[in-house]
Amino acid sequence: MPSGLIIQDGKITKYLLIYQPQSDKSRYLALAGYNLDNWELLKNDIINAVEGSEIAKATPSDWGTQFEVKSEWSGPSGRLIKVITIWQQDEETEFVRFITLYPDKSREN
């Protein structure tokens, strides 16, 4: 992954860790022990896991390049989670911003 990874706090506190009627991620993350009380830990764990992972797929978009990264780590509960994160590097920027994550069902035991 390129350096300069950015995750907006609201992506964690207002989206990932809040129940969503469609494409909910909060329940999966709760299994690993993540909640609003430790959201900063989730943010750091995502960045640390992605920095050590290879890009699974890079796709050009109208705004830049999107990256798909498969990674895994143990959450606060000790449970291993396997996720796919989506990132985007906008044209003419050096930063890569976090878009979303979802469980990597292809890597379940």
How many residues in the chain?
109
**Segments of the chain with pLDDT less than 70:** 1-3, 107-109
Q: Are 103 and 82 in contact (CB under 8 A)?
A: yes
Q: What is the pLDDT of residue 2?
A: 63
Range of the domain at 30: 5-107
Domain count for the chain: 1
* Cβ(101)–Cβ(16) below 8 Å: yes
Report CA-CA distances (Å) from 57 to 53, 61, 70, 101, 108. Answer: 12, 13, 9, 14, 19
Provide the pLDDT for residue 52: 78
pTM of this structure:
0.90
Say what the pLDDT of residue 103 is.
Answer: 95
**What is the pLDDT, as a whole number, of residue 94?**
86
pLDDT at 4: 83
Looking at residue 96, its pLDDT comes to 93
Q: How far apart are CA 92 and CA 17, in angstroms?
A: 31
